A and B are shown apart, each in its own frame.
Chain A
């Protein structure tokens, strides 16, 4: 089963971090949620990578993606059971966005990454991508928390109600503006070639 064969993914590979945001964006409504989601995604990337490296040659390439999915969802389900015992409020906050880590492109990518000669380089590269994803998600979580509550980790920043920008509709406009700003600032640079 080759999930990365279509033209769509060939085109979008340079935008991996942005695409990886898709499953987590809705859940990152605050810094706390974003920290948990990004941390768990990073752990899932490392876990899926290690499992795929360890079982290289044992599992056929065609079965690697389903295998990675099953391993990741099992680990996440175990973590959900653990959270339901120790912190059910957090489990409720993360909701469906926790199992959605399984279909994160950065996690699934681990199943096709280790065909290359230099496995260590690929592994370091994917951890670095995961780290960039985590930083971006925490930034987005912080921004949404600021818009929704007017506070950042309890410290009041805005006295007025600007929750509109934290709601899905308003935040999509904010996100669009941020990507536009990024393109404008890095116009003509390597970053521009990545986005356009």
Chain B
């Protein structure tokens, strides 16, 4: 239990995929004027996709690829799995606003390198299915929390007399850098 908690918190803080591997930076490299609710929705979608992808990846990798000695097909299988998941999620009915929001964020979530990057980084390291799911949840939560923090700070910065050239992408990247330094303090706990 303690080990799983360590993996979960590691994904959120000291092993945060954005701050340690510079993956999933896409939403931070564009100026977004979205509400906190939209940002949280995107973070939530990414976490759900990460967990689903980790679940299926673990099964496919450990049950099919490793026993049959087909690990060289890893990249192809992972990207196909992500594609299938995104297409499957897009096929869901869009009756309620929540379902429409799910549909809206899917393409952006698929482009997010944090998803494919996490699978490539960790697939060979997972020992159990629970570990894979917890690890993916940690990475997703870390990404979502970072997205919300940066957006919240950015919304406050917009109301302050900050030079025009520093607003948007530059300030987002600088905030990320400071956050990366802050979470690096957790390393080794």
A residues whose Cβ falls under 8 Å from a Cβ of B: 1-9, 11-12, 15, 18-19, 21-23, 25-26, 66, 69-70, 73-74, 76-77, 80-81, 96, 99-100, 102-103, 105, 108, 168-177, 179-181, 183-184, 187, 195-196
Bound CA–CA A21/B73 (angstroms): 26
Q: Which residues of B contact A70 (CB under 8 A)?
A: 76, 79-80
User: Do residues A179 and B173 form an inter-chain contact, with CB atoms below 8 A?
Assistant: yes
Number of interface residues of B (CB under 8 A): 52
1/0 per position for B169-182, CB-CB distance to A under 8 A?
Answer: 11111101111110
B residues whose Cβ falls under 8 Å from a Cβ of A: 19-26, 29-32, 72-73, 75-76, 79-80, 83, 86-87, 90, 104-105, 107-108, 110-111, 113, 116-117, 120-121, 163-174, 176-181, 184
User: Do residues A9 and B108 form an inter-chain contact, with CB atoms below 8 A?
Assistant: yes
User: Do residues A103 and B116 form an inter-chain contact, with CB atoms below 8 A?
Assistant: yes
User: Do residues A177 and B170 form an inter-chain contact, with CB atoms below 8 A?
Assistant: yes
User: Do residues B75 and A19 form an inter-chain contact, with CB atoms below 8 A?
Assistant: no
Bound CA–CA A22/B26 (angstroms): 6
Report which of A2, A8, A21, A96 forms a contact with B121, defined as CB distance below 8 A: A96
Report which of A23, A76, A168 forms a contact with B180, defined as CB distance below 8 A: A168
User: Do residues A196 and B79 form an inter-chain contact, with CB atoms below 8 A?
Assistant: no
Bound CA–CA A180/B167 (angstroms): 8
User: Do residues A180 and B29 form an inter-chain contact, with CB atoms below 8 A?
Assistant: no
Q: Which residues of A contact B180 (CB under 8 A)?
A: 168-169, 172
User: Do residues A19 and B26 form an inter-chain contact, with CB atoms below 8 A?
Assistant: yes
Report which of A1, A15, A66, A180 forms a contact with B30, defined as CB distance below 8 A: A15
User: Do residues A195 and B168 form an inter-chain contact, with CB atoms below 8 A?
Assistant: yes
Report which of A5, A7, A77, A173 forms a contact with B173, defined as CB distance below 8 A: A173
Give the residue name and chain of the B residue nearest to A180 (CB): B170
Bound CA–CA A13/B36 (angstroms): 23
Q: Secondary structure of the B side of the interface?
A: helix
Q: Which residues of B contact A173 (CB under 8 A)?
A: 173-174, 177-178
User: Do residues B25 and A74 form an inter-chain contact, with CB atoms below 8 A?
Assistant: no
Q: Which residues of B contact A177 (CB under 8 A)?
A: 170, 174
Bound CA–CA A169/B73 (angstroms): 33
Q: With A183-B165, A187-B164, A195-B169 as given contacts, are A103 and B113 in contact (CB-CB < 8 Å)?
A: yes
Closest 5 pairs (CB-CB, A-B): A176-B173, A169-B180, A172-B177, A173-B177, A180-B170
Q: A185: shortest Cβ distance to chain B, in Å?
A: 9
Please name 19 further chain A to chain B contacts, defined as beta carbons within 8 Å, in addition to the given A6-B105, A74-B76, A172-B19, sorted by A numbering.
A8-B30, A8-B108, A9-B107, A11-B31, A18-B169, A22-B113, A69-B79, A73-B79, A102-B75, A103-B110, A168-B22, A169-B19, A173-B173, A173-B177, A175-B173, A180-B165, A180-B171, A183-B166, A195-B31
Bound CA–CA A177/B173 (angstroms): 8
Q: Which residues of B contact A2 (CB under 8 A)?
A: 107
Q: Which residues of A contact B181 (CB under 8 A)?
A: 169-170
Q: Which residues of B contact A105 (CB under 8 A)?
A: 26, 111
Q: Write 10 A-B pairs (CB below 8 A) sorted by A numbering.
A: A3-B107, A18-B169, A19-B26, A103-B111, A105-B111, A170-B181, A172-B173, A174-B177, A175-B173, A176-B170
